A = this chain, B = another copy of it.
Amino acid sequence: MARRSGRRPGNPDTREAILNAAREAFAERGFDGSSIRAIATSAGVDPALVHHYFGTKEQLFQATINIPFNPGELLPQIAAGGVDGAGERLVATFLRVWDSPAGTAGAALLRSAVNNEWSARLLREFVVTQILRRAAGLLDLDPAQAPLRTSLVASQLVGLAMARYILKLEPLASAPAEEVVAAVGPTMQRYLTGDLSGPTGGGSGASPGRSRTAGPTETG
């Protein structure tokens, strides 16, 4: 129904007011705790206008942080082949985005997150709710382990972006994508599906500090 000409619709001031209200809401109350209705109220507009300008709550969130790719499109592609090989596909997709002109926007995003706590909160909320949680669902990870697994994945991907594109550590900075996928893909795969209890591999409880994630099985 609405114009789909590729041009951004609407009054720029109104758009900006909605985006500011949305940024504040997502950073302060999180994605789940924010509603289009509350954002509209705080921007002084009708909720229908927010939907008209930005679409769904997910699309509004994406517009607030100016992320250079759409996780709603990329994640299903990565997950399409199942969890086997997802580690390699994840790294390959990540490099394809960062090696493209979109990488500049990614670097800007990291910069602003590093520079202020508020941007860091917004990015963290986006990463957790729009990327990691969706990926965990698509890959059918055990919900009890998914948060640790996906945050480990995120740590290696953020580090890859830092080392390759921002610190420009050689030879990682100019290695062909295939080489990086081969080196880092298995790390991703292990974080997604492997044993995370250490190199000895056993669940024999070698380290007392590790019981935190053991769950409620041994309460007796």
Contact = CB atoms under 8 A, between A and B. Distances in A.
Interface stretch (A10-18, A20-28, A66-74, A154-162): A154-162
Contacts of A176: 209-210, 212
Contact of A197 (B157, B167, B182): B182
A166 B113 contact: yes
Given A111-B114, A156-B156, A175-B148, A169 B207 contact: no
Given A88-B198, A166-B114, A171-B151, A209 B178 contact: yes
Interface stretch (A29-37, A45-53, A121-129): A121-129
A156 to B, nearest CB: 5
Contacts of A120: 166-168
A181 interface: yes
- A interface residue count range (under 10 / 10 to 19 / 20 to 34 / 35 or more): 35 or more
A173 B147 CA distance: 11
Number of copies: 2
Contacts of A156: 155-156, 159, 187
Interface stretch (A57-65, A97-105, A188-196): A188-196
Interface string A118-141: 001001100110000000000000
A124 B163 CA distance: 9
Contact of A198 (B160, B172, B186, B190): B186
A177 interface: yes
Interface of A: 85, 87-88, 110-111, 113-115, 120, 123-124, 127-128, 147-148, 151-152, 154-160, 162-164, 166-173, 175-179, 181-187, 189-191, 196-199, 207-210, 212-213
16 contacts: A111-B115, A114-B162, A120-B168, A124-B167, A128-B170, A151-B163, A151-B170, A151-B172, A154-B159, A154-B172, A155-B156, A155-B160, A155-B164, A159-B159, A178-B210, A182-B196
